[in-house]
Structure 1
Amino acid sequence: MQPSRRSHRRSQVLDQSLPLDNAILQDLLMELIHHKDAWPFLRPVQKAQVPDYHLIIKRPMDFGRIKNKLNMLVYVHNSEFIADTLLVFENCQMYNQSEAEEYKAGARMSRFFRKRCRQLGLQIPDEANPPPAKKPRLSS
């Protein structure tokens, strides 16, 4: 008998050196969902409401999709959850003008998310490996 996809995925999670911290991520996602600035990110952007969104944004993401993926054990590593969450804010910045309320809400949410990740000991890829400091120029 073949193991089910779900049991195979579960064994993959257990085999990883850095397993998914599901409980921590569930709590963090609930904080994000209940944040006062979460309103633009709770559900997918509807084509009927924003016709050009999917022409500009090639990988849409929202908190509802993230919650579903977390609940269905799609994520194997914390970094996958973090990447999807950062994608929400990147898409927001790419699509919206800086004076738009959605853009401002996304910027505040991004700062909040990054701060909470640091507090929880979750590494954000661009913060885990900061660019090396520039070497001073040697004058000849």
Structure 2
Amino acid sequence: MISPDIFYVEDDEDFAFILEHAVREVKEDLTLKVVDDGKNAIATLEKLVEQKHKPKLILLDLNLPGLSGIDVLKKIKEIPFLKYVPVILFSTSDNPKDVKASYEFGANAFVTKPSGYSDLLSCMRSLHEFWFTHNRNIN
């Protein structure tokens, strides 16, 4: 398994498919790994850690089967190897309680999923521009 540029946890297959196309349109050589639930996300991330592979960015849906996005976030931040990987909660929710909880448990950002492909594409361009171009990190 190689280190993905973006590790995305999303249980909606259709949305994940559309996001994958938007990511490719933003930058064709970005690698994206999609997993569909919280437990699978933790298991996959643990395998990456064992192999000393680290994603550059983690996008995390809030409402997941099994473990919630908040639970996955907590576990990610407990893994020393992944502690400083930026984690963005990427959800349909815009509930202030969800936003607050995400930041309290270490999320680097909370982004409400855009509706429509052109808005998604614009959002992915902005995320790429900031997290892959402008932001300086220690990874």
Q: TM-score, normalised by structure 2?
A: 0.27
- Which structure is higher in helix share? 1
Q: TM-score, normalised by structure 1?
A: 0.27
| Bigger Rg, which one | 1
- Which structure is higher in strand share? 2
